[in-house]
């Protein structure tokens, strides 16, 4: 399996368009040692030909153009190597990018039944994906399941990889109507993924709400874990003047503090563990900061745009 990190920041990216916090201003004026990041977007392939996306970031058009492996090939005018997209949630920063893919291309979208309801019942703009011939194909994921994924239609062939899903968060985005939320299972709000191929596994959990710990067992045994590095501290948005909400209020376990990610992450994890979905306010973005050193010392890597992982 080959994994490419096309984007590694949280919603809004780094810098954010309207943000003058220490990190954003410091990156712009060169006073801190940091690197710009687009919004979290992961891609992987198991055959070096067909690529799958995890999430659909608001920066997806730019991210595809920056990735030679995703350049259209062959003679057809619509010959993208992107075969499918796995959607973790209906959050704007993992859903909006579907609209970038509206140009006459058919592909598979894997999502829970609840996410599909949000798109189809309350957000008609996404039906621009039906313009492709054949239209985009939606495939239903359960919040807890194992799906064998095939790259060809040959009968009897073993799946090329397995997509295992598990519940990660129980809260739907605030733009979804209360009536619709009442009809949906909370466990389908945000799901994590474990992709398995040739005896190796990739765990993807970029948002940990802190109210379940199922991810810890998977994190201990995965070969690569891409995990929630959104906030350093619970009150980070308040201290940087961005919002009155805490990290936990908006569905992210902070890295530091009591029962934070650094404390909860399994000591015996055998694979690489890489922080992703890093918010513009997070002090780990400043590569000279003590927080940056602290996560490296704790055995984590920090994802960056263009990061290439062989598994």
In the complex, the residues that contact a copy of itself under the rule CB under 8 A are 11-13, 15-21, 24, 28, 36, 58-62, 64-65, 70-80, 82, 92, 95-96, 99-105, 122-128, 131, 173-177, 240-243
Nearer to a copy of itself, 217 or 245 (CB): 245
Which tokens sit at 237? 């948005």
Minimum CB distance to a copy of itself, residue 223 (Å): 30
| Residues 199 and 123: beta-carbon distance below 8 Å | no
Q: How far apart are CA 16 and CA 37, in angstroms?
A: 10
Which tokens sit at 31? 């006073």
Nearer to a copy of itself, 32 or 60 (CB): 60
Query: Is residue 92 within a helix (H) or strand (E), and if so which, with residue range?
Result: helix 92-95
Nearer to a copy of itself, 11 or 283 (CB): 11
Helical ranges in 131-273 per DSSP H = 178-182, 214-221, 236-239, 261-264
Chain CA centroid to CA 94, Å: 7
Minimum CB distance to a copy of itself, residue 20 (Å): 4
Nearer to a copy of itself, 269 or 278 (CB): 278
Minimum CB distance to a copy of itself, residue 77 (Å): 4
Nearer to a copy of itself, 25 or 198 (CB): 25
Minimum CB distance to a copy of itself, residue 61 (Å): 6
Q: How far apart are CA 262 and CA 253, in angstroms?
A: 10
Minimum CB distance to a copy of itself, residue 271 (Å): 32
Listed in sequence order, the residues at least 6 apart from 139 whose beta carbon sits closer than 8 Å to its beta carbon are 84, 108, 109, 110, 111, 147
């Amino acid at each position: 399996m080959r994994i490419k990190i096309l984007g590694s920041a949280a919603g809004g990216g780094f810098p954010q368009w309207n943000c003058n916090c220490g990190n954003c201003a410091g990156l712009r004026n060169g006073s801190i040692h940091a690197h710009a990041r687009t919004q979290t977007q992961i891609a992987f392939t198991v055959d070096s030909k067909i690529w799958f996306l995890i999430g659909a970031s608001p920066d997806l058009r730019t991210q595809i153009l920056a990735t030679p492996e995703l350049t259209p090939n062959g003679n057809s005018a619509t010959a993208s190597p992107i075969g499918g997209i796995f959607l973790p949630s209906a959050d704007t920063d993992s859903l909006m990018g579907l609209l970038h893919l509206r140009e006459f291309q058919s592909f598979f979208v894997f999502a829970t039944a609840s996410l599909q309801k949000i798109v189809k019942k309350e957000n008609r703009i996404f039906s621009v994906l039906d313009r492709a011939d054949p239209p985009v194909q939606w495939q239903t994921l359960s919040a807890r399941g194992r799906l064998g994924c095939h790259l060809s239609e040959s009968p009897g062939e073993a799946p090329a990889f397995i997509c295992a899903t598990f519940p990660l968060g129980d809260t739907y985005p605030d733009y979804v109507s209360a009536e619709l939320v009442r009809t949906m299972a909370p466990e389908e709000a945000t799901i994590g993924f474990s992709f398995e191929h040739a005896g190796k596994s990739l765990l993807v959990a970029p948002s940990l709400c802190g109210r379940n710990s199922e991810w810890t067992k998977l994190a201990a045994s995965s070969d690569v874990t891409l995990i929630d590095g959104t906030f350093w501290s619970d009150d980070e948005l308040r201290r940087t003047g961005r919002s009155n909400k805490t990290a936990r209020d908006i569905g992210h376990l902070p890295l530091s503090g009591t029962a934070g990610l650094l404390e909860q992450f399994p000591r015996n994890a055998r694979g690489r563990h890489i922080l992703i979905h890093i918010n513009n306010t997070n002090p780990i973005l400043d590569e000279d900061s003590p927080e940056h050193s602290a996560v490296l010392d704790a055995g984590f890597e920090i994802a960056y745009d263009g990061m290439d992982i062989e598994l």
